Amino acid sequence: MGGLYTMDPLEVAGGWVNGYDLAPLPAPLPGGPQQALDRLLVRHLVRRPCLVAFSGGRDSSVLLAAAVRVARREGLPLPVPVTLTYPDAPDTAEGDWQDAVLRHLGIGERVLLTVHDEHDPVGPIAGSLLPRHGVVWPPNFAPTWRMLDQARGGTLLTGEGGDELFGLKRITPVTKVLRNRGRVDRRIYPHAVRALAPARARYRAALRNRYRRPWLRDDVEELLARRDASDAAAYALHAGRNTWQFADRRCARRGYETMRALGAELDVEYVQTFAEPGLVASVAAAAGYWGWTGRTATMVRLFADLLPRAVLERRTKAVFTDAVFTEHTREFARRWTGSGVDPELVDPEVLRDNWLSASPHAPSMNLLQQAWLADRS
């Protein structure tokens, strides 16, 4: 893997890295996804300390449960869950789910890290790293950096990539209709029809329903919207191939490379377990053409023996917006002169309004960091 990924001006302006690496899908490892996951974990559990980023969500819970099972079976020290808690951001609360999983696994040792304003894109952690590395992808590296700091000399396992690996695919609504004939919500049918549409029609639909970045100049917004639409239109109907496409996106690969490079600075091996090619290939092979009928069905099919069904079937998800943009962002935005960003790409006043709003757009993080660095020079 490469090092930290430095974004080009258009990527900074849009807060995204488009495109695919177009790497070939590797052959799946022998056995199914669980066997592939176990072999991957054995390799990393031997390095101490071994921490598992654990939020209580489905992906991190599956990862922790699998790591605990492998450690006990192989006679290795148990991995230690590390959890970030956000007392000032109630929408992030997952304490009840965390406790349920830890009780089920019989885990006592745990690292708890309290978060107030430390993870702001221009907060104290980012402020110490940005002058050394500049604007990199991904911009929200602060939470992982804190966990890496706890794992010095060892390994940090995370469930990043789980949404893409186990989540909805292009063909999912079609599969849901075919496998639940007569019992499916009729609102699914339009989604199934769109999934079967040719690439050009899906491109036009993605362009119409695009995510809008209000701070961009009109021509730049249109250009980046076309890039986003092209990425979406490229999704394969084959569930397994679509699974690999998610892992093969440049945003995913470049982000993983950056975090591995940051981990190396602290002598930590950083592992996005659900983005590892061998495991992705095994899940892709198990999914085949049709895949499963949704994220819950996928989790139950692959991991029913690891966790209580209620954990695998949960539908709630924490929201972290209030824990990211804090007073550090607002204080900078209030005094910002508009320097440090390209006015041909972005409207500085709209950008400032975004940073001062109740819910700033996450893709504006890189511009915030670029402007902050320019202000310090």
Query: Which tens digit of pLDDT belongs to each residue from 307-344?
Result: 998 888 887 776 666 678 999 999 999 999 999 999 99
Q: What gap in Å lies between CA 6 and CA 27, rounded to an integer?
A: 31
Q: What gap in Å lies between CA 192 and CA 362, rounded to an integer?
A: 30
pLDDT at residue number 319: 65
| DSSP run (H or E) holding 5 | strand 5-6
Residue 36 pLDDT greater than 60, yes or no? yes
pLDDT at residue number 316: 73
**Structural domains in the chain?**
1-20+32-171+252-277+294-377 (3.40.50), 172-233 (no CATH)
pLDDT at residue number 90: 72
pLDDT digits (tens, 9 = 90+) for 276-296: 999 999 999 999 999 999 999
Residue type at position 147? M
Q: What gap in Å lies between CA 351 and CA 242, rounded to an integer?
A: 34
Helices 348-356 and 327-335 meet at what angle, rounded to 10? 150
pLDDT digits (tens, 9 = 90+) for 193-227: 999 999 999 999 999 999 999 999 999 999 999 99
Residue type at position 282? S
Distances (CA, A) of 15 to 41, 87, 126, 203, 256: 32, 28, 16, 21, 16
Per the CB < 8 A criterion, the answer to whether 296 and 312 are in contact is: yes
Rg of the chain taking only CA atoms, in angstroms: 21
> Of 124-133, 312-321, 343-352, which gets the smallest average pLDDT?
312-321
Token match 């992982």: residue?
144
pLDDT at residue number 320: 63
pLDDT digits (tens, 9 = 90+) for 367-377: 999 999 999 98
Output the average pLDDT for the chain: 94
Per the CB < 8 A criterion, the answer to whether 273 and 63 are in contact is: yes
Tell me which residue of 351, 344, 353, 349 sits closest to 367, measured CA to CA. 351
- Map 98-155 to HEC letters: HHHHHHHHCCCCCEEEECCCCCCCCCHHHHHHHHHHCCEECCCCHHHHHHHHHCCCCE
Model's pTM, two decimal places? Answer: 0.94
Q: How confident is the model at residue 1 (pLDDT cuts 50, 70, 90)?
A: low
Torsion of CA 188, 193, 195, 201, to 10 degrees: -140
pLDDT digits (tens, 9 = 90+) for 143-195: 999 999 999 999 999 999 999 999 999 999 999 999 987 787 888 999 999 99
Per the CB < 8 A criterion, the answer to whether 16 and 210 are in contact is: no
- Residues 6 or more apart in contact with residue 172 via CB below 8 angstroms: 195, 239, 291, 292, 293, 294
- Residues 6 or more apart in contact with residue 295 via CB below 8 angstroms: 58, 166, 167, 168
